[in-house]
Amino acid sequence: MNAPDRFELFVLPDGVKKLTITPDTKIPNAATFKVEKEDHTLANMLRMQLLEDPKVLFAGYKMPHPLDHYFILKVQTTPDTTPAHVLGNALTELIQNVGSMKNKFEMELIRAKSEAQKIDNGEGEDLSSHQVDMDF
Amino acid sequence: MDMYNGGPEVSIRALKKDSMKFVLSNTDLSVANALRRIMIAEVPTMAIDMVEIETNSTVLTDEFIAHRLGMIPLSSFDVDRIQYTRDCTCTLYCPNCSVELTLHVKVNVDYDDMNDPTIDKTRQVTSLDLVTSDESVKPVSDDRAHPILIVKMRPGQELKLKCVAKKGVAKEHAKWSPVYGVSFEYDPYNKLRHSHYWIEEDEKLEWGVSANAVEEAPIDPNEPFDYNAKPDRYYMEVETSGCMKPEDVALRAMTIMQDKLGGLQIKLDDEFKEDTQRWGY
Ligand SMILES: [Zn+2]
């Protein structure tokens, strides 16, 4: 009866900001990012990518409560950059990686399907290294 | 800067009608896990979401039948054409954001057979009895000999209802998940020691290596433990409900991942524009 709507997990309500940046008042070059309506899927990916950056001194995330659908990401950097800047770099890098993953997958799909075609046509191809079994 | 230079690699090992296996390599564990999580919970499909029951004299209650109908996988390869109801201009549902399916089964009483115990008078109401208004959205069943059972009826009973199938994601309800199972394995020899096996006497005897071990070099007993090592090969398996092809589930998941990251990058840029002073830009 008073159960929260399940779509609250992923629908951003009107007037709510997807991303909020709060600079840390005590630690230099540190900030907290609050991302609404996202979970471990995005948060963990961002954290791991940030940690690859040598200018990142700290990167960690948490989902404060299972009924609140946001995560916070804390980042501290070296003085020659800013948390927002390294987050931007991490995002660029991830977008590039996912894009190339998608391209590789599409290319592999063409190869896998053409090999399955050859099996159907009974053409003698050596498939020992790339065995693809299909049943369309 | 990046230990995974050159970006991710993909190699498809098996591709079937409703399952696939592929190896994802040269990327972080978090990326492989994000792909798995998105395939399970964020790829949209169609599922029955509202049921209007006109007549139900079966042994199952209305809500029991409504629940069973919701779980029936519907073909969703054309789901991009359909809108989410919450984004639609209509109030409840319309052809832009839903597909109607109807079901009407009435088992007539045949008085000649009634008292003959050798004749099976049970009528199985299955997914084949659902009549769709849109041929691209219909119950998944390649095998007409094994459709999905909804309820069993005896002579004299009747079931008449109208279903409204809507687009959704499994974050809202698991019935919208396009997959029945997604799994991935990494480091089959447990070189990274991420797994701690429960053993009685001998780990090697009690825990055999998986089929994926043939792809990797076995542990060299003279090699010291590398505490800096990270996983970089993931053996992924996807099994769908039949609502769409497994390769499409993976591709859609990757697109969703791109949108997620891209969307956040746009928001980050907006923050820069709003407050350039704070960050010294
Ligand atoms: Zn509508």
Structure ipTM: 0.89
Interface test with A, best of B1, B3, B5, B10 (most A CBs within 10 A): B10
Give chain A positions within 8 Å (CB) of B8: 97, 100-101, 104
pLDDT(A84) > 80:
yes
Interface test with A, best of B87, B173, B271 (most A CBs within 10 A): B271
Mean pLDDT of chain A: 89
pLDDT digits (tens, 9 = 90+) for B108-126: 987 777 777 787 889 999 9
Find the farthest-apart pair of alpha carbons in chain A and give their distance in angstroms, rounded. Answer: 71
Closest residue to A6, CB basis, from B173, B264, B265: B173
d(CA A88, CA A82): 10
What domains can you pick out in chain A, each with its CATH number? 6-120 (3.30.1360.10)
- pLDDT confidence tier of residue A125, bands split at 50, 70 and 90: very low
Residues 6+ apart with CB under 8 A from B274: none
Q: Which CATH superfamily is domain B45-172 in?
A: DNA-directed RNA polymerase, insert domain (2.170.120.12)
Asked if A105 and B263 come within 8 Å (Cβ–Cβ), the reply is no
Q: In what order do the strands lie in the sheet with B131-132?
A: B45-56, B158-168, B98-106, B131-132
Q: Does B230 touch chain A (CB under 8 A)?
A: no
CATH code: domain B9-42+179-279 is: 3.30.1360.10
Going by the DSSP 8-state scheme, the letter that residue B47 receives in this structure is: E
281 residues of chain B, pLDDT tens digit each? 457 888 999 999 999 999 999 999 999 999 999 999 999 999 999 999 999 999 999 999 999 999 999 999 999 999 999 999 999 999 999 999 999 999 999 999 877 777 777 878 899 999 999 999 999 999 997 667 789 999 999 999 999 999 999 999 999 999 999 999 999 999 999 999 999 999 999 988 999 899 999 999 998 889 999 999 999 999 999 999 999 999 999 999 999 999 999 999 999 999 877 655 555 44
d(CA A42, CA A20): 16
- Tokens at A5, concatenated: 């709507």
Beta-bridged to residue B149, according to DSSP, are B126
**Contact call for B27 and A133, based on CB within 8 A:** no
Domain ranges of chain B: 9-42+179-279, 45-172
B270, two tokens: 């907006």
Helix locations, chain A, DSSP H: 40-51, 83-121
d(CA B34, CA A42): 7
Whether A49 contacts A94, CB under 8 Å: yes
d(C-alpha B223, C-alpha B33), whole Å: 29
Residues from chain A that touch B10, judged by Cβ atoms under 8 A, are 101, 104-105, 107-108
Decide if B255 contacts B38 (C-beta within 8 A).
Answer: no
In this structure, is the dihedral angle defined by the CA atoms of residues B161, B165, B168 and B169, taken in order, positive or negative? positive
- In three-state secondary structure terms, A125 is coil
Sign of CA dihedral A32, A38, A40, A42: negative
List phi, psi (to 5°) of A52.
-75, -20
Name the maximum alpha-carbon separation found in chain B. Answer: 91
Supply the pLDDT for residue B277. 52
pTM of the model: 0.91
* Beta strands, E only, chain B: 9-15, 19-25, 45-56, 98-106, 123-126, 131-132, 149-153, 158-168, 179-185, 233-240
Q: How far apart are CA A18 and CA A8, in angstroms?
A: 13
- CB-nearest partner of A84 from B251, B255, B271: B271
Tokens standing for B154? 């005896």
